[in-house]
Amino acid sequence: MNKFTMFGKMTAHPGKREELTSLLLEASRSLNNMESCELYIINESVDDPDVIWVTELWRDAEAHADSLKNEEVLAVIQRAKPLIAAVEPVRLRPVGGKGLGV
Amino acid sequence: MNKFTMFGKMTAHPGKREELTSLLLEASRSLNNMESCELYIINESVDDPDVIWVTELWRDAEAHADSLKNEEVLAVIQRAKPLIAAVEPVRLRPVGGKGLGV
């Protein structure tokens, strides 16, 4: 299995999380037709009012890299940048479990 | 939507990640029949050889709390404890995206 998971921790500038969440939800809609993207879930931190974590699951690391060349995705990234204070990516290799769909 | 997501970062004692991964995979099988558990994916860090991140998605926070009273789950936790150096839970509220299945 070559699947690729990324957790993206994003810290919004104070008061900007809601706006950032909306943008990411918009981005996720452009992924609906991209078969190689299996999960793209936007989560708000319960404990930190500025933090969002995105759960991404891709067919493989190449599919993820390719998505970053997609024009719609790039356009959203450009609009999101001014809202973001920090990004911390966590690169993962999913090994199994419930809901992975191998 | 009251769904509940938890990312669990676990740092295994050096050389113990593989054993811990096996135990968590075993735990995930006991969740297969638990409808309130929608995702329980075990991921190994690409960048840190001792780190595992578990992606959990539950119907609600209560379902997650209830699972921690399940005897099979508790038995696995007891066996996993000696392998684990540190745990860092991240509590999240999923707001939308691809694959969430609302």
Per domain, the residue ranges of chain A are 4-92
What pLDDT is attached to residue A102?
53
Q: Which residues of B touch A38 (CB under 8 A)?
A: 98-99
Complex ipTM tops 0.90: no
d(CA A71, CA A77): 10
Q: Which residues of B touch A7 (CB under 8 A)?
A: 7, 53, 55
What pLDDT is attached to residue A64?
92
d(CA A95, CA B25): 8
Provide the β-strand partners of residue A39: A57
Per CATH, domain A4-92 is 3.30.70.100: yes
% of residues, chain B, pLDDT over 90: 75
What pLDDT is attached to residue B33?
86
**8 Å CB contact between B46 and B88:** no
Smallest Cα distance from B94 to chain A, Å: 4
Q: What is the pLDDT of residues A23-46, one digit of tens each?
A: 999 888 888 888 999 999 999 999
Smallest Cα distance from A91 to chain B, Å: 6
Chain A residues with at least one Cβ partner in B under 8 Å: 5, 7, 21, 24-25, 28, 31-32, 37-47, 53-55, 57, 90-100
DSSP string spanning A28-84?
Answer: HHHTTT-TTEEEEEEEEESS-TTEEEEEEEESSHHHHHHHTT-HHHHHHHHHHGGGE
- The answer to whether the Cβ–Cβ distance between A98 and B5 falls below 8 Å is no
Q: Which residues of B touch A25 (CB under 8 A)?
A: 95-97
Q: Which residues of B touch A46 (CB under 8 A)?
A: 91-93
**8 Å CB contact between A95 and B26:** no
The rounded mean pLDDT for chain B is 92
Asked if the model's pLDDT at residue B102 lies above 70, the reply is no
Q: What is the pLDDT of residues A41-100, one digit of tens each?
A: 999 999 999 999 999 999 999 999 998 898 888 899 899 999 999 999 999 999 999 988
pLDDT classification of A9: cutoffs 50, 70, 90: very high
